[in-house]
Structure 1
Amino acid sequence: MSSTTPEWLEGCKHHVTETNEWKSFTVELFDAIQQQLTESHVKYFSDLSEAEKELFMERAVRAIQHGSSFTTLNAQVSKMLDMALNNEVARELLEDHPVNTKSDLVLGHARDGAVSLLQRWPDMRDKLHLCLNQPLPPTLRQLAWKLHLRNSKLRRQYATAVKTESPSLKSPWHREICQKCEDILQSEPTFKPLANHYGVLTAMQSVLSYYHASLQTASTLPDMDYLLLVPFLAVTQNTLSVDAPAGDNVKALLVEEFITYMAQRPGYMREAGVRDFSDEKSVFADTVADLLQQHDDHLATAISTAFATDKGNPSRTNLVQGLKTLLQPLLRVMFVGYLQLDCLLYIWDQYIIGLDVPAYQVLPTISTVLLMLLREHFFKCKNSHQMEQVLSSHSRKLHMHQFQYEINKRFYRTLHAQIHKDDKSTMPVLDPTQSVGMPPPWTHWSVEKLPPRQKAHDRRQAREEREAQRLRFVEQQKAEVEMKQEDELARRREEERQLELALEQSRRQQDQERLALEQELDAERQARYELQKRADDQIAMLQKQIDELKRMKDTKPKSAAPSETLSTFSLKAPPPSAATHVTRTWPVAPSPARSEPSRTPGTPDAVKAETIMRDLVGRIMQGTNFLAHSSGDEKDTLDQQTRQSLQAYNKDRREAEIEIFGRRISSRDWNTMASGERTNTQGRLADAVRRKVEQRHGSNSRQGTNSRHGTSSRH
């Protein structure tokens, strides 16, 4: 059973299947089916189509339903169902302490069980014939009306129109229809429960506008169409919000039920248009006249007298004509507006549960009972006009229990025989046009003579065709799945190609940037090399001069003055190199303290030359060291900037690892990577670090530009 089946009903089903009565019934049912298989020359039950299986099962049940096993099982099921229902009610009374009485609880659980069974097996709607002369509970009423008036084609058409926002949803008279719906709900006294209900109003407007658009007529809707929709609105009122508009699902259900009902109305309820329904109206009035003369001849005489053209000689013709005049306004709207809503819905219940039985004619009986309930008022009338006023004014004061009492007293046996007439039909047979495909509902199967039996090879051919069709369907589904997979694979390949192109472009950009950095590095190395070469040349030149001085000293040891003069002019300071040409004055490093060399007799020129050489080389080394590392505060600043740059790089590196991998990369992770993956990872990390450096330099440059602009504005 479905998941909505009550637990007590599930338990009852489980207990029934474990009884000996159920086992005996299934054995007898199996034997009956096997006998049919033997007679039909069918070896296995599985060889039958679904429609044939249903047919064999129904025939077997019909064959044994009057036997002892079926009767015993039926009694056992009734007993266990009664026990399960009473046990559930007793449990609620003891544990839950409900406010409702035991009778209310029993009826509520029985209703829930019936609703769940009907939802699972809609073809069991004929079981609702048991509710003859009884009002249906609201939940069961909504489901019963839906099952008897369902039309999937209409629902699909409306759903398609809503989905596509088709112009057919609204009638050209949409505004007038909306205004009239609001006026009817507010002005009609019997519609007070539906007044000031926004959900009911919007549903009524949408359904009638769509219905009028589907009629494709130039005139507006007649008043009776507005009234005939009201019972459907009253049934779905509990599912609608008072303050919010109706949903599309509720509107689709109302469209389906209302249009199906309008199409199935008998002729005596319709207006004369394309067809003339006068014959059907006369037959209906004649039926009511027979019932009225049978059960209340005095009232029949009073009506025929009031409508007689010759007051002294009332006749049957006057009675029939008078009944047509009295009842036609009621039948056009099917008592809507003439009775209170609870009484009206009870009458509609009696009509709808018998829609599947053509022999069931309840409206003539209802009309007769209505006239009989107003007999005292009719006896006071002198003419036909007064009788029409009595019918329109006093019918609203009638109650449902009055109809139930009169029907149960005078007409129940006749209605019961009519509605259960098809239950005495003969053995069901299979429609040969339905031997392949879905079987029709049991209630629509023919009860005529059996069709000619099919041969074994015909059934085998039909099975082979069904199997071939199934295989084609499976192959089609498989081809669709493969096509979807190929499309997905092509899409992934395209994405991979795009990623590879982006990666290749990124690599080319990195190579260009690396080449530019290498060129800058080579240029810096060349500049350093040239600077070092000039320094070496100067040192070599100084060394050569020193050697020259030594040779001169050895040649002329006693001429000091000329040597001194020569040293003064020869040992001039070397010219400044290109690296030392700056716009500021170089700080002079303090010369190291040295002792004055002792001028030994005979070597004054050598000592002087050595001193000059030492000072010159010291100054050159100090200048070179200053060019490379600066000194003082500038050296500290340069060291601090170097440390900050290293810290920023390490921070960017950590953030890049977390951005790409979600965590830090350890040395163990690098060792476990393949060479290609390691190269790819290094490239991705380098890209991420470069982006962060560029972002930081860009922000710094913007800040510097802003600060310079601010300084310029202040100046």
Structure 2
Amino acid sequence: MNNGGSSSHAGIGGGGGGGAEGPNQLGAGQGQDGEARGTRILLPDWLKAAKDALIETRQWKLLVKEIHVRVAEELSRENIKFSDLNPTEQQSLVEQMHARLLREAHDSIFNFETAVSSVVDTEVAAEVRRTAAVDERDSNKKEAEGAGGVENDKDEKDGGQSTSATRIVEVATSAIIALLEQLPPEHRALTRLMLGQPFPEAFRLRAWALSMRNATARKEYDEIFTRRRVDTISTMDVQITQECQSFLQKPIGGKGIYTRRRLMMMKSVLSYHHTLLMSRGEGSTTLPNRIYWLMTPIVYVFTGGKSPLPELAPGQESEFLANLIEAWECVCRDSDGVNTLREGEAFGAMGNSEDGNSVPEWATLIRDGLEEADPVLFNHSLLVLQNLDPVGGGKVGINEDEEATLLAAVLGATVSRCLVDTLSLDCSLYVWDQCVMASFRAVIPRVTVAVLVCLREALLSAEDREGFGKVIELQGRSISFSSLQMSMERFALPQTRKVLGMKTTSMSIDSKFASSSAKDEAGEILMGDEVLKQVLARMDMISIMSEGDLPNSLSHPGAEVKTLGRKVIGWEGGPPGLMGVQKKPPKKKKDKSGGEKEKRRVEKQRHKDWEADVDEAMVTTYGRKYSAEEMASFGPMERKKYKEGFAALQGKIKDIRGKRKEAEPALKDWKEPWKRVELVEGGGEEEEEEEEAGDKGGEKGEGKEGEKAAEEEKKIEPETIATAAT
């Protein structure tokens, strides 16, 4: 979102500090400049403990030492002293050396990320246990006092344990917002790691509020309000109020969202917006319909979402309104915001345009995206739409601009209001989450393609332009969240990530030494970045779990979870680092058996490979694999058929593996498998397990002493979030 009225888009948190009071409401005094109009959010105690613990780790000290060495080498090459640099240059130099280590995948980076992962998991687990104990104690106290004990029991049964996953989300939300508050704005693009996932309910308001900041817009409103409050109210205030009430009383995305507070907030924001448009000579006696649609999700989220919040005290309510106005103006003024899509309303109103020279960028993106995603649907759509062209009447050989214009005419209204009410409310908020993390300009056209693909079957049945539009209007809200998410992951988000570059930080260093903070903040920023990455990784892991419940599979090391066809990296031997840091391969142990163990391993693997080849050849010959037990039940005719086909089987095996000396002896074991119901493998696995146990015993002490050492080692392994959650 825009920061200070500049034209650069910085993703979530592009503006200054600002925060939230409680999980679901913006508090008074929280604005564009957290220090100017309110206090910054303090780091949670568990996060402070995590940072303190990390500072004492050997991994952190080694990382700092490596950065120090790199800085010294760079200064030596430039023939300057560190003290000759100003604080900004000092900080930039440190960050450059850290970035260089990241690019090199240096051991110090890997080791530190592993330490961060372990410490964060341990502290989050402790915090979850602490909050669970507090909640249980409070519940028991209420029950003892007779204050709704029965109702609490019912909620416990219906809600399902107040799941650990929910607690983790709450803990992580507070940590992320606090960290984002304290990091420089350019580091806040780290939340793009969640691109593709919906914001948890507890996180959405605070993420939107942090992102939708515009210092210029806020200052302008404060000055007008202070000078003459009536100047913030439009002459069309009554008409705007009536329109707002009409929109809020509609089932937006299939759900009613009207409350009196939402009405007053929405009409106040849009009344002020109308005065600005009139003062700039851009307004008229009415506001475009798209303005009401676009304001709806913002006022819905800021006022509590599914659980509408009550009004605040008068002074706090006034500050809340100022925050809401700032958020709305940011969305409108952002160079990549909703106004980049406003031409859609005009395209939708005028029907098929013949002016190919005025094709907007978003229409071209939809045209190119749909052609790539589904050529059949693309061609059908153009056929249906151009047959209704009042001038051409189904002309052949139109160019790409004309094709984009045809699509713009039927999709313009949908695009201009950023899919609000086209989709269900939950799906609309999910799409807006992606816009908050990236940009409306980058996301909305590509999501529109994903929506069309979701409606493919119905659209292919449309016979004219009116029918095509009706499908989108009437069936869009029936698209399930999971279907939309899968379609977006395939047709919208890959290109969005490519456009954004998906850089966790965007330093935009113009000179050799130019960045953000002072020397003494270097460690804090690097530490904050790493901790934030790990907390975001936990948020990403939890947010993709159905209904916020932590599946049992994550309770076990090495677990894998499959969600929407995507493999989520399991927590093997401890939690993953950022997006699943891969462990280094274990060091090979010395073979103390004089090579016999290796020979047995090779022979055993050769036998397994051969059996796999026979199985594969059997499937290609007979259409399936027959076990030895099944073949034992073969009748004479079946056995004869098997023997007759065995020559072909041998040929296929040789084609698979090539000629090998071991082929003939091994084939003898498979010629008549019904005589070998029990296939003997020679106990190789048991021998290997015994030998491995013996090796461990030899390294840690013979016999029981080795086993005891192994048990002690297991006890001190860092516990993970998943273990604590279950």
TM-score relative to the length of structure 1: 0.55
Q: Does 1:299 align with 2:377?
A: yes
Task: Specify the SS of the correspondent of 1:337.
Answer: coil
Q: How big is the shift at 1:349? A: 1.1
Could you tell me which of 125, 128, 153 is aligned with 1:86? Answer: 125
Query: Deviations along 1:53-102, whole A, 9 cap, x unmatched?
Result: 32222212122223221221112111221222233334555674483122
Query: Deviations along 1:392-435, whole A, 9 cap, x unmatched?
Result: 11112223222111223455443333333545989934389999
Task: Report how many aligned residue pairs link the two structures.
Answer: 434
Distance in 1 between the 2:356 and 2:296 partners?
Answer: 26
Q: Do the aligned partners of 2:251 and 2:257 also contact (CA within 8 Å) in 1?
A: no
Q: Does 1:263 align with 2:347?
A: no
Q: Do the aligned partners of 2:253 and 2:421 also contact (CA within 8 Å) in 1?
A: yes
Moved more, 304-313 or 15-24: 304-313
Q: Does 1:335 align with 2:419?
A: yes
Q: What is the aligned partner in structure 2 of residue 114 from structure 1?
A: 176
Q: How big is the shift at 1:44? A: 4.3
Q: How big is the shift at 1:23? A: 0.8
Q: Do the aligned partners of 2:509 and 2:515 also contact (CA within 8 Å) in 1?
A: no
Task: Specify the SS of the correspondent of 1:118.
Answer: helix
Q: What is the aligned partner in structure 1 of residue 95 from structure 2?
A: 58
Q: Amino acid of the residue matched to residue 22 of structure 1?
A: W
Q: How big is the shift at 1:201? A: 0.9
Could you tell me which of 141, 144, 155 is aligned with 2:207? Answer: 144
Q: Do the aligned partners of 2:128 and 2:164 also contact (CA within 8 Å) in 1?
A: yes
Distance in 1 between the 2:371 and 2:472 partners?
Answer: 19
Q: Do the aligned partners of 2:92 and 2:516 also contact (CA within 8 Å) in 1?
A: no
Identical pairs, percent: 23
Q: What is the aligned partner in structure 2 of residue 284 from structure 1?
A: 362
Q: Does 1:251 align with 2:317?
A: no
Q: Amino acid of the residue matched to residue 62 of structure 1?
A: A
Q: What is the aligned partner in structure 2 of residue 177 from structure 1?
A: 240
Change (3 A) 1:171 1:437: farther
Distance in 2 between the 1:235 and 1:394 partners?
Answer: 24
Q: Do the aligned partners of 1:339 and 1:398 also contact (CA within 8 Å) in 2?
A: yes
Q: Does 1:32 align with 2:31?
A: no
Change (3 A) 1:274 1:395: closer
Q: What is the aligned partner in structure 2 of residue 380 from structure 1?
A: 461
Could you tell me which of 282, 286, 293 is aligned with 1:227? Answer: 293
Q: What is the aligned partner in structure 1 of residue 229 from structure 2?
A: 166
Distance in 2 between the 1:437 and 1:78 partners?
Answer: 27
Q: Amino acid of the residue matched to residue 223 of structure 1?
A: N
Q: Amino acid of the residue matched to residue 248 of structure 1?
A: S
Matches within 5 A, 1:417-432: 417-422=498-503, 428-430=509-511
Distance in 2 between the 1:175 and 1:299 partners?
Answer: 45
Distance in 2 between the 1:234 and 1:344 partners?
Answer: 12
Could you tell me which of 157, 163, 166 is aligned with 1:104? Answer: 166
| Structure 2 residue runs without a partner (length 5+) | 1-38, 137-155, 348-352, 388-392, 523-726
Q: Do the aligned partners of 2:189 and 2:506 also contact (CA within 8 Å) in 1?
A: no
Q: Amino acid of the residue matched to residue 328 of structure 1?
A: G
Change (3 A) 1:39 1:399: same
Query: Deviations along 1:183-202, whole A, 9 cap, x unmatched?
Result: 2212354374421x121111
Change (3 A) 1:399 1:208: same
Q: Do the aligned partners of 1:307 and 1:321 also contact (CA within 8 Å) in 2?
A: no
Q: Do the aligned partners of 2:250 and 2:256 also contact (CA within 8 Å) in 1?
A: no
Q: What is the aligned partner in structure 2 of residue 365 from structure 1?
A: 446
Q: Do the aligned partners of 1:308 and 1:315 also contact (CA within 8 Å) in 2?
A: no
Distance in 2 between the 1:214 and 1:268 partners?
Answer: 18
Change (3 A) 1:389 1:171: same
Q: What is the aligned partner in structure 2 of residue 708 from structure 1?
A: none
Moved more, 278-287 or 250-259: 278-287
Task: Specify the SS of the correspondent of 1:252.
Answer: helix
Q: How big is the shift at 1:133? A: 0.9
Matches within 5 A, 1:473-488: none
Q: What is the aligned partner in structure 2 of residue 496 from structure 1?
A: none
Q: What is the aligned partner in structure 2 of residue 508 from structure 1?
A: none
Matches within 5 A, 1:159-558: 159-190=222-253, 192-195=255-258, 197-216=259-278, 217-238=283-304, 241-242=309-310, 247-264=317-334, 265=337, 269-271=341-343, 281-309=359-387, 310-311=393-394, 313=396, 317=400, 319-355=403-439, 361-422=442-503, 428-430=509-511
Change (3 A) 1:341 1:50: farther
Task: Specify the SS of the correspondent of 2:419.
Answer: coil
Q: What is the aligned partner in structure 2 of residue 48 from structure 1?
A: 85
Q: What is the aligned partner in structure 2 of residue 640 from structure 1?
A: none
RMSD of the TM alignment (CA)?
A: 3.6
Distance in 2 between the 1:191 and 1:23 partners?
Answer: 55
TM-score relative to the length of structure 2: 0.54
Q: Do the aligned partners of 2:93 and 2:513 also contact (CA within 8 Å) in 1?
A: no
Distance in 1 between the 2:107 and 2:503 partners?
Answer: 24
Q: Do the aligned partners of 1:370 and 1:403 also contact (CA within 8 Å) in 2?
A: yes
Distance in 1 between the 2:516 and 2:482 partners?
Answer: 48
Q: What is the aligned partner in structure 2 of residue 539 from structure 1?
A: none
Q: What is the aligned partner in structure 2 of residue 75 from structure 1?
A: 114
Task: Specify the SS of the correspondent of 1:308.
Answer: helix
Distance in 2 between the 1:426 and 1:272 partners?
Answer: 34
Change (3 A) 1:435 1:108: closer
Q: Amino acid of the residue matched to residue 224 of structure 1?
A: R
Q: Do the aligned partners of 1:299 and 1:379 also contact (CA within 8 Å) in 2?
A: yes
Larger radius of gyration: 1
Distance in 2 between the 1:399 and 1:29 partners?
Answer: 49
Task: Specify the SS of the correspondent of 1:362.
Answer: helix
Distance in 1 between the 2:196 and 2:517 partners?
Answer: 40
Q: Amino acid of the residue matched to residue 403 of structure 1?
A: L
Query: Deviations along 1:430-462, whole A, 9 cap, x unmatched?
Result: 389999999xx9xxxxxxxxxxxxxxxxxxxxx
Distance in 2 between the 1:371 and 1:194 partners?
Answer: 27
Q: Do the aligned partners of 1:168 and 1:214 also contact (CA within 8 Å) in 2?
A: no
Q: Amino acid of the residue matched to residue 371 of structure 2?
A: Q
Distance in 2 between the 1:331 and 1:407 partners?
Answer: 16
Distance in 2 between the 1:423 and 1:101 partners?
Answer: 31
Q: How big is the shift at 1:160? A: 2.6
Could you tell me which of 44, 61, 64 is aligned with 1:6? Answer: 44
| Structure 1 residue runs without a partner (length 5+) | 442-715
Task: Specify the SS of the correspondent of 1:171.
Answer: coil
Query: Deviations along 1:169-223, whole A, 9 cap, x unmatched?
Result: 111111211122112212354374421x121111111111111111123432111
Change (3 A) 1:31 1:222: same
Query: Deviations along 1:516-551, whole A, 9 cap, x unmatched?
Result: xxxxxxxxxxxxxxxxxxxxxxxxxxxxxxxxxxxx
Q: Do the aligned partners of 2:377 and 2:456 also contact (CA within 8 Å) in 1?
A: yes
Change (3 A) 1:258 1:394: same
Query: Deviations along 1:572-629, whole A, 9 cap, x unmatched?
Result: xxxxxxxxxxxxxxxxxxxxxxxxxxxxxxxxxxxxxxxxxxxxxxxxxxxxxxxxxx
Distance in 2 between the 1:22 and 1:202 partners?
Answer: 52
Distance in 2 between the 1:29 and 1:257 partners?
Answer: 39
